[in-house]
Amino acid sequence: MNKKISTIPSLFIGFLVIILITSGCGSGQFLGPTLTPSPTLTLTPSPTQTPTKPLTPTHTPLPPTATFTPTPAPQPVLLRRKCGRDYLVKPNEPIQIFYGGWGVKGKELADQWATSLIVEMTIDDEVIVGELKPPTDILPYNCTTDVANVYWLYYTAVIPGLSPGEHLVSVKFKSLRKLPDGTGPTFGPGQILEQTFKLITR
């Protein structure tokens, strides 16, 4: 009788264990902690770049009324008393004046005069600054003189132009020291000659 009573609780406990195991397997409570899947990364594609057109340089054309007037070439004038005293030029146009022509015999003597000769020119009492050119056996412009072994020293200056009318030109020759010209006489020191001319513009 006692053996039957102790068997019933054992059977009942076994039955409960089976039920618990069965219910636990079905619900997953005894399979360990539940793993939560990581969120899915969603890749957003970069926006499509639209190619830009290359910049085209623009050129602004000149206005149709714009005109370019070339500067006229200077009018050449050689002031030499043997060639004349009055000279005709165009008004209000550049003038290249050759002045102070001084002739001496021989190249060596001409080189000495090149370091001694000073020529001053004024037009209407206004001082014009020029440049002494190296000695040459040929005059630069008109009224040439063909004399054997004669070398010429002269100055040149460019002026912007003269108004219409007559303009008085004064040319003074000076020497820093006493020098011969190769034909006999000697000149200097000091002023050795003065010449006057007229530039007539019309």
Residue 29, in any domain of the structure: no
Give me the tens of pLDDT residue by residue for the chain, a chain 202 residues long: 444 444 445 555 555 545 445 444 444 444 444 445 555 555 555 555 555 555 555 666 666 665 666 677 899 999 988 888 999 999 999 999 999 999 999 999 999 999 999 999 999 999 999 999 999 988 776 666 667 889 999 999 999 999 999 999 999 999 999 999 998 899 999 999 999 999 999 9
Residue 96, in any domain of the structure: yes
Gap between the terminal Cα atoms of the chain: 166
Domain total in the chain: 1
CATH of the domain at 162: 2.60.40.10
CA distances from 132 to 20, 47, 152, 192, 199 (A): 131, 78, 11, 17, 21
pLDDT of residue 51: 55
Residue 149, in any domain of the structure: yes
pLDDT of residue 84: 87
How far out from the chain centre does Cα 12 lie? 114
The span from the CA of 190 to the CA of 175, in Å, is 5
Residue 191, in any domain of the structure: yes
CA distances from 115 to 58, 182, 198 (A): 58, 16, 29
Radius of gyration of the chain (CA): 57
Residue 65, in any domain of the structure: no
Residue 159, in any domain of the structure: yes
CA distances from 63 to 59, 66, 68 (A): 12, 6, 12
| Torsions phi, psi for 26 (to 5 deg) | -70, -35
Identity of the residue numbered 51: P
Classify strands 95-105 and 75-78 as parallel, antiparallel or unpaired: parallel
Domain limits at 116? 75-201
pLDDT of residue 148: 80
pLDDT of residue 48: 56
Residue 98, in any domain of the structure: yes
Q: How many residues does the chain have?
A: 202
| Torsions phi, psi for 13 (to 5 deg) | -65, -40
Residue 30, in any domain of the structure: no
